[in-house]
Amino acid sequence: MSREKSWKEISIAGVCSKSSVGFMTGDWKTYTPIRDLAKCTKCLTCVMFCPEGAIKWRPEMGDIEFDFSFCKGCGICANECPTKAITMKIEGE
Amino acid sequence: MTTQEWKFTAKDIASKPDLFLSGHRACAGCGPAAMLRLIMKATRGPTIVTQATGCMEIVGSVYPYTSWALPWLHTAFENAAANASGIDAALKAMRKKGKVKQEHIDIIALAGDGGTCDIGLQALSGAVERGHDFLFILYDNEGYMNTGIQRSSATPTGAATTTTPAGSVIPGKLEKKKPITEIMLAHDMEYVATATPYYWKDMLTKVRKGLEVNGPAFLHIFAPCPRGWRCEPGKTMEYSKLAVESCVFPIWEAVNGKRQLSTPSKLIALAPQKKKPVKDYLAGQGRFRHLYTPQNKHVLDEMQRFTDERWERLLQKCESA
């Protein structure tokens, strides 16, 4: 990996050059959302409310998919799920 | 404003690619981040975003990373609206010279409650008066959260912050929340609205309407901050719902000064028994914890009275429109 530029070398008005998609925030989490497939009605409420965009709607699969490399384990999805299909668990439990 | 309503379903929105990308460094359960991700899905074409300093600017642009998948500019705390008017003027000049091919480019200025109600107010007022074509979005987390939870003029009465600590001397902030939407409405703007992310369909429709306006538009979005409000991160959306249900933050829109309640608030106006007490909204928020002691009961009563008063006044204004 090449060395990142120091603050003396960058342009005066700083330009952010890398997409934050390369910065995995998934390791922040304490709790992990676990979905009960039998209860899920695919209403997409969790997809709408996830602040990280870590829950993705996959039209080709007709299902949602959790991206744990970004999930911070806040629990909004579990709290808002109308059928209570999502529960928050500590990893390894 | 176009007469044709923008129709969309949850699947349409979910299928749209994110413009505010994953990997931003907002706290877990951040209300403004959830709101921002959603509202960027209501854009209708080429868009430029300009942002004042604030939580959402900090978390989205940690050097060398950027969370924005569209042209994005950051300026100082007070300049979001000034920057937007500069972009608007530049686009006009470049279009004259034939350097801009796109027929229309939307401009969104984003600022928090500090960057709007306190520091950015004069720039915003000036830009609106000059009639630049932009949408100003205020995400209101009721304080200066990223600098360490200081009070702002949008902090509600009774909230404990690091600059209004609750104790034996004061029961949290003593002053009232600044009615920023009323101030903006007084500028004779074509479109002013309030929204919360819990009612996301309503919020996205309002963003689109604000963008379609030919001139300045103002949107006040309520976005709970679990860190600053000292509540559970998972309850962010619940609080944005409770704020509407308890009439602490009623949602409405005003087109050409004509005020109209939006559906969730209208339902409460039609069935007043559905209105929840302010206590329900305050419960669980650590910043209001001290209000549940006997010596601070009067603050709680005062808040209920004040909320009812503001709600009644809003109903009257909506009826007279």
Q: Which residues in chain A have Cβ-Cβ distances shorter than 8 Å to B66?
A: 16-20
- The ipTM of this complex is 0.86
* Rounded to 5°, angle at Cα B205 from B204 and B209: 115
- Would the CB atoms of B23 and A51 count as touching at under 8 Å? no
Is there a domain that residue A59 lies in? Answer: yes
What whole-number distance in Å separates Cα of residue B51 and Cα of residue B108?
8
Q: Which residues in chain A have Cβ-Cβ distances shorter than 8 Å to B40?
A: none
| pTM as predicted | 0.92
What was the pLDDT predicted at B34?
A: 94
What whole-number distance in Å separates Cα of residue B206 and Cα of residue B252?
10
* Residue reference for tokens 């600044």: B178
The Cβ of residue B161 has, within 10 Å, a number of other Cβ atoms equal to: 22
Distance from B245 to chain A by nearest Cα, in Å? 16
The fold for domain B11-320 equals Rossmann fold (3.40.50)
A79 touches chain B (CB under 8 A): yes
What was the pLDDT predicted at B183?
A: 94
Is there a domain that residue A84 lies in? Answer: yes
**Structural domain that includes position A32:** 23-90
What was the pLDDT predicted at A93?
A: 64
Name every residue in B having a CB less than 8 A away from some CB of A.
10-11, 13-15, 18, 20-31, 33-34, 37-38, 60-67, 69, 197, 200, 226, 232-238
What was the pLDDT predicted at B7?
A: 87
What was the pLDDT predicted at B4?
A: 67
| Weakly modelled stretches of chain B, pLDDT under 70 | 1-4, 321
Indicate the domain borders of chain B: 11-320
- Would the CB atoms of A14 and B237 count as touching at under 8 Å? no
Q: What is the CATH number of the domain that holds A51?
A: 3.30.70.20
Identity of the residue in A29, A70, A76 whose CB atom sits nearest the CB atom of B234: A76
* Residue reference for tokens 């500090």: B114
Is there a domain that residue A15 lies in? Answer: no
What whole-number distance in Å separates Cα of residue B252 and Cα of residue B191?
11
SS3 (DSSP) at B217:
strand
Is there a domain that residue A6 lies in? Answer: no
What was the pLDDT predicted at B95?
A: 93
Q: Are strands B258-261 and B252-255 parallel, antiparallel or unpaired?
A: antiparallel
| CA closest to B30 among chain A residues | A51
Is there a domain that residue A18 lies in? Answer: no
Is there a domain that residue A37 lies in? Answer: yes
The Cβ of residue B123 has, within 10 Å, a number of other Cβ atoms equal to: 25
What whole-number distance in Å separates Cα of residue B222 and Cα of residue B246?
14
| CA closest to A72 among chain B residues | B28
**DSSP for chain A, written as a single string:** -PPPPPTTTS-SS----EEGGGS--GGG-SEEEEE-TTT-----HHHHH-TT--EEEETTTTEEEE-TTT-----HHHHH-TT--EEEEETT-
Give how many domains chain A has, as a whole number. Answer: 1
| Weakly modelled stretches of chain A, pLDDT under 70 | 1, 92-93
